[in-house]
Chain A
Amino acid sequence: MLARRQFLGLGAGGALLGAAGRASAWTASAPASMREPGAPFTAYGVPSEWEQEVTRLPTANRDVPGNGASWSPLHLLEGIITPNGLHYERHHNGVPRIDPTTHELLVHGRVRRALSFRVQELLRYPLRSRICFLECGGNSNAAWHRQPIQSPAGHVHGLVSCSEWTGVPLSVVLAEAKPYTDADWLIAEGADAFAMHVSIPMRKAREDGLLALYQNGERLRPENGYPLRLILPGWEGVTNVKWLRRLRVVDRPVMARNETYSYTELLPSGKARQFSHTMDVKSLLLQPSAGMRLPGPGWYLLSGLAWSGRGRIRGVELSTDGGQHWRAAELQQPVLSKCLTRFRLPWQWDGAPTVLMSRATDTSGAVQPAREQLVAARGRHGYFHYHAIVSWAVGQAGDVRHVYGTGTGDSHDSNAPADIDSGWF
């Protein structure tokens, strides 16, 4: 089903269908849908029966079904908001079942008053909403492969999603507990079967940390932390602890597994980058992208997403000739800080093979690097934080393939045994 949809290009809106207009007869008779009453109301709406192939793409450990990841099908979506049922997932030991009437958040440690909050109490606090992206540190990790992977874009880069999160500013709850000034860190712990815990600098927690209760207007989905999760805009997914049950104010990081052994990036020197919290500036062309097919020469709307954990997207440039020329894409307004930004640009395809690329710049001045720049700086074994420019080659037949750079690849070392550091993160 997916293959067929991609072969046709896009579904809704037909953005990728060829421009060549064909005369067709308008059926004068009313369609069947106008000759019988429609279906009754539904208590909770679900997507159309013709959109059933638009699903998350899960992969799990064979012995631990709740350990793995599930990608958002970004290549089948438009706009910037990820529907709640399609938000990416990364769990270490499954989705816990938590009764909100018994769940409590404990704030303790280096505080004057250790406090416990029930969910129903937090719901009475001053709420704030924030639209921002959430990206797993392991997103796009297949792009470290020596050979470009040909999976659909969402299945490689879809560990990023974007929602409106509503909750209590962390600063409000912290102020009530009165932390001592020597306490620069928080340990955040989830109520899941991995007892996920990470260290968070107090500065970030106070700046824009949110104790999220709602996601896109409804209460959090279980797989997104129901009934309470941490949101740290622009920061690596793993720090946005789901099913939050405890915040301990401390004077140093706890050095948990997920901030030492994992979610750190091994560099060529043998040292590893630690506390790589901020997600770097990144963009991704989605229409078209790997596995799709342009039905023929003509007019196309190029469309994709850009984001940065350092601020707003200032611009996205597109190249339709393998990086020789770049043109500014149109950014869909409003452009929000630490938020997915939709970019679009009309393009006339002349039918000749070419390479499409997108390159984002953010308000901090950071520019998305070319793949060889990223590999030169970080080596090939960092595993996390891949954010280089993505290239799609369009073939004579309109087929779209993933390539590195301008398509020559870095196959000089293709006999190497370890293609990528395998497994989970």
Chain B
Amino acid sequence: MTAMLLLILIAAGSDTDTTGPGLGREVSEVPVHDVFPDGTGLPPGRGTARIGQGLYAQHCLSCHGPAGEGASAEPIAGAQGALSGPHPVKTIGNYWPWAPTLYDLIRRAMPMHAPGSLRADEAYALTAYVLYLQELVELDAEVDAAVLTNLQMPNRDGFVPAEAVP
């Protein structure tokens, strides 16, 4: 009995919650593709940096520059020097912490003039190419969900919760 009551309380959330008129319509779980650092949410598919190179020239180069060095958009590759140096430059290679979430950004938001237009395989190939520009994958290596999940990005441990620092 006590156990059951506890369960109901847990389900109802905090006791300070006021109740509303209950006008929301119940929906069965919808498929969404938020991608987490551990690879959860990555769709099936694959691509190589070599394929990505062609796609990049077509869809990305105009804003990000031939080697990701930046144009109208910030540089995404080619940073020299440490983040702790006097003039740090943040790029994917030295600052972006997880490869799966890089896939997510490219798939959900790029290219800026046609967001959401990339197919899963294209997004894998482009992710592979961006990682290739950082010398993190080989030109002909097949990149898929497993490869992205297992790839150790250089700045994975680069973040600390704001409360823990000045």
Contacts and interface: CB of A to CB of B under 8 A. Distances in A.
B partners with A: yes
Interface of A: 61-64, 67, 92-93, 106-108, 112-117, 121-122, 124-126, 168-169, 171-181, 187, 189, 193-195, 197, 206, 246, 248, 250, 252, 254-257, 260-261, 264-278, 377-378, 381, 416-418, 421-424
Nearest to B17: A175
Interface of B: 10-14, 16-30, 32, 34-37, 62-63, 71-74, 82-84, 86-90, 92, 95-98, 101, 104-105, 108-109, 112-113, 115-116, 158-162, 165-166
A264 B116 CA distance: 25
Main secondary structure of the interface of B (DSSP, over half): loop
Contacts of B36: 252, 254-255
Nearest to B70: A423
Nearest to A377: B166
Contact of A271 (B13, B24, B74, B165): B165
B34 A187 contact: yes
B18 A169 contact: yes
A172 B62 contact: no
Contact of B20 (A61, A168, A266, A277): A168
A268 B165 CA distance: 11
Contacts of B89: 418, 421
B108 A195 contact: yes
Given A175-B19, A177-B24, A274-B161, A261 B112 contact: no
B148 to A, nearest CB: 13
A175 B30 contact: no
Given A261-B90, A418-B87, 15 more contacts: A64-B72, A114-B30, A171-B18, A175-B13, A175-B20, A176-B24, A195-B108, A197-B34, A252-B36, A255-B37, A260-B98, A272-B159, A272-B160, A273-B160, A274-B159
13 contacts: A126-B20, A172-B18, A175-B18, A178-B12, A189-B34, A195-B109, A206-B14, A254-B35, A255-B37, A260-B97, A264-B159, A270-B88, A273-B165
